Amino acid sequence: MSDVSDHERAMSEASDFSDEEEFDLSDAMPMLKLGAGKKALLQRAAAEAENDEDGDEEENEEDSDHDMSGDEAGAQDDDVEDDDEAEGKDGPINWNRRVKQRVLVCSSRGINHRQRHLLQDLVTLLPHSKKESKLDQKKNLGSLNEIAELTSCNKVIYLEARRGTDTYMWLSHAPNGPSIKFQVLNIHTMDELNMTGNHLKGSRPILSFDAAFDAAPHTRVIKELLTQTFNTPKGHRKSKPFFDHVMAFTWADNKVWVRNYQLTETAPAGTLFKPNTTTSDVSLTEVGPRFVLDPIKVFQGSFGGITLWESATYLTPAAVRRAERAEVQSKVAAKEGKKVDLLTKKKDLALPKDPLADVFA
């Protein structure tokens, strides 16, 4: 009788947690058989009552969401995305979060060893890059947009080689543009320079731009595209949360001069550990690679479209070689002309033959 009375009291107290829903005895019987007691039974009943109330609230919210208009639903989704972005900025970094900012890096057929090493250096500097195989096409570059879409990339670095010596670089924002075509000059890779500087692989760079980039519209477009391409996204899974090198972009002689430096911290003499560094304690050591980008055209689309800007001072490599050959030929022709003038002068200075020279022979 005591067991039955305890069970009836437990059932009466559990019924107070939910007036609308009836308590199922089959759920409580295993607990009673295992000797869980009245306290465990009450906890189980309270938890089930709360779950039932939460389920009713979720169903009501879903019904209200279905009744909501399309504009209100879109506004609510935008608010949720803004809240998520705010939490990502203010809260800790979620390193497992997938970042969709990726750069496709590829080249054309026929590149030499120097161009191949430059491509590998760019892949090393960009932890958010995706390297692809060489592209056979040289005229229809629009297929790079499809490759970027298949690899989930929104930026493209395409290194194009012509005649074995001429190097061109395309920077594009896929798939809608804009895109910029450069000629790459004075290429020096990391292995070739053998600099003393070094930094962590995958660390985020500090991008330094010259103030001259803000002087003209086309330079501002070049600056923005370089920033979006070489800036490693915050929280990328292959990046490291350190800033230990600087990528410097300088605008001089209508060209972009690219350098990569390591941030070196020096501690005062006589100290065992480095104190808080100041600006005087930080120095720059060049790491490489170094190269110069000569902008040729800025296109509205990706790898084509309307030409927004074209360089008026650009000369093709073939024209430069032709001018160099013409200069050498002019020097050779000048030397030959001097020789002819000297022979003519010697003939003019020669004395005439004396008619009386053979009289007393």
pLDDT per residue as tens digits for the range 159-171: 999 988 899 999 9
Contact 183, 167 (CB under 8 A): yes
Which secondary-structure segment (H or E) carries 304? strand 304-310
> What is the DSSP annotation of 254-283?
TEEEEEEEEEEE-PPTT-SS-----GGGEE
Chain CA centroid to CA 79, Å: 28
Name the residue among 295, 290, 209 with its Cα closest to residue 248: 209
Among 181, 163, 184, CA closest to 172: 181
User: 3.20.20.100, 3.40.50.10480, 3.90.25.10, 3.40.50.970: which CATH number matches 105-317?
Assistant: 3.40.50.10480
Residue range 93-131, pLDDT digits in tens: 555 555 478 999 999 988 999 999 999 999 999 999 999
Report the sign of the C-alpha dihedral through residues 82, 231, 168, 210, in that order: positive
Q: Which residues pair with 185 in a beta bridge?
A: 292
> At residue 338, what is the residue type?
K
Among left, alpha and beta (phi > 0; psi -120 to 50; other), residue 235 is left
- pLDDT, mean over the chain: 78
Is pLDDT of 87 > 60?
Answer: no
Report the pLDDT value the prediction gives residue 125, as an integer from 0 to 100. 93
Domains of the chain, residue spans? 2-90, 105-317
Burial of 293 (0-12, 13-18, 19+ CB in 10 A): buried
